[in-house]
Structure formats: structure tokens, C-alpha cells
Chain A
Amino acid sequence: MKSSRVKGVFGVAALIAVILGCVMFPGYAADNSVVLSILLYLPGFFVLIGLFEAWVSRDFVVTHMGEKSGLKGSAYSFVMGCLIPGPLYLAFPLAGALLRKGISRFNIVLFIGAWSSFKVVEEIFELHFLGPRFLVLRVLLTVPFVIVVAFIVSKVCFDDK
């Protein structure tokens, strides 16, 4: 417990150093927008995770998104993944929090799949730059694969927990 605390504080310090370094030496990275977007998203994300852990009851998550929530639970997970903005690597801490609250394994992989491929704000970009034909074809082709990935991963990858 103590040593994990020390590691955490060290990690926070190192993170601040890395971000400062990126902001102060803009020449190295192709552009700094990525590091800046992490900087901007971090506070909102971790406050959200804290609020979720403190306010949302386990029962609520289990009934609406748990093993027995059926199609409706999967639909909730999918839509939630589409709506929350932010890069994929910030979805994992949120997914971890959801999993500890009792969301089903299938739904959590579906959530991550939707998050990565069908983010509403990104789809507007795709529609604008790649056109409706590309967008519709890609979405129609990707949805079944996201479901298959969710099925396989939820069956195979959780034996350690």
C-alpha cells in the first residue's frame, strides 16, 4: 500500500515533467496536439471516474449493463462508447471502473469497440472528408466485426479475474 503510493506520486511527477518537456520543446514531435489533448482530457476523465465510483451503485450497473441485461444492456454500452469523447487510451481506465462495478464482459468489449470506431464527433469528420459512401460502407462492415471481437474477447480473455 505504502510503496504503491510512492510509485503513484513518482508517476505524477514524471508525467508532469514529460508534459512540460513536450510543451517546452515543440520541435521534436510532429505536432504537440496529442500531448496537449491528453493534458486537456485528463482532469475531466479522472473526475468522471471518481464521480462514477462514488455515485453510481453496483446494482444500477449490474441491472442495466450486467450479464442479465440482455440486448438493452449491450445497446446502452454501445451508445455510451459512441457518445463520450476522448482518445481510446483514456477509455481503458473508465472500462476498468465499469468492470469493477459489474458490467458484463461482452458489454465492456463492445463499449471499447464502439469507442474506438464509431465516435459520433469523429464520424462527422469522416462524413465531411471521406463522404457518405465511405462512411456507410465502413460502418456497416465494422459493426459486425466489433460484435465478433466482443464475443471472442469476452469468452477467451478474462480467465485471470
Chain B
Amino acid sequence: MLALIFNAVVLVVFLVCYFRDKDKSVHALRLSVRSFERIAPVFVVVILLLVFAQGLFSGDAVFAYVAGVSGLWGYLVAAFVGAIVHVPPFITFPIAGQFLASGVNPGYIAVLVTSLVMVHTFSIPIEVKELGLKFALVRNFLCLVFAIVIGVIMGVLY
């Protein structure tokens, strides 16, 4: 639904541009195709990784697994599971809400949610292609560490 609205907005922007300058807008489309072609081979790899990660674990299974661990170890497990597995945000939040209501440590949930949204192991090929290997590794590693820190603080404060 959101994707359709997004496409509609882009279409409107494109039409406005098109009426203002036809040649420039056609040139823009050519640039779109070129940038898509450039990233397409990497995209294939990422989609395969993504489908693989999705096929392995459903969102429910991920949260149930993390909820089953206890102690400080749970924060580490939540962070690493969240980094490797992919659950889209619109599926993450409803499931996270259920587990929060059922009494799972809010710290674990905060780590898992933060790590799921910020650390994307499977899309590292795209990140490397666009922004460089060092960028991708350092950003993902820092986000992983900070996800744990955020979760531990959340666990104390919530």
C-alpha cells in the first residue's frame, strides 16, 4: 500500500518535471535505467540472500527463540539473531508488541528491534557497491554494538 502511494507520488513528480522540461526528464529516465543496471547484479545476490534468510526463520520463530534465552547472554543472542535474520518492520512491530505484552524482557525486544532495523547483513553487497567495504563493515558493526547498549539501558529503564 505504502509502496503504491510512493510510486504515485514519484509519478506525479515525474509528470510535473516532464511538463516543465521534456528532454531533461527523458534524460532522467535514461539515468534511472543506467543506475538500475549498475546495481542489478548485486541486487540479485541480495534478494537471494534475503529469500534464504526468510525461508529459514519466520518473524514469530525469531522472537520466540530470543524470548527463550535468559540473562545477559540474551542481549548478545538477540543482537546477533537480529543482524543475520531479516524481518520487515511492518511484521517486526506487531510481533514485538505481542511478546512485550506476554512479559518478555523489554531489553531483549529493544535489542532485537534495533538490530533488525539497523543491521542488515544480507544487504551488505549493496552497501559495499554504493559506499565501500569499510563503510559497510564499520557501520554494521557499530550498530550491532550500540543495539546491545541501547537494549541493556532499555532493560533497566523500562
Interface residues of A (CB under 8 A from B): 4-5, 7-12, 14-15, 18-19, 22, 28-31, 33-35, 37-38, 40-51, 53-55, 84-89, 92-93, 95-97, 99, 108-109, 112-113, 116-117, 119, 121-122, 125-126, 128-131, 133-134, 137-138, 141-142, 145, 148-149, 152-153, 156-161
Contacts and interface: CB of A to CB of B under 8 A. Distances in A.
A11 B35 contact: no
A49 B35 contact: yes
A101 to B, nearest CB: 12
A1 to B, nearest CB: 11
The size bracket of the interface on B is 35 or more
B118 A116 contact: yes
A44 B26 CA distance: 15
A93 B35 contact: yes
Given A34-B88, A86-B6, A122-B93, A12 B37 contact: yes
Contact of B47 (A38, A44, A49, A128): A38
Contacts of A108: 131
Nearest to B122: A89
A51 B4 CA distance: 18
A117 B17 contact: no
11 contacts: A11-B43, A34-B51, A38-B47, A42-B36, A50-B33, A54-B28, A96-B130, A138-B113, A141-B154, A157-B138, A158-B135
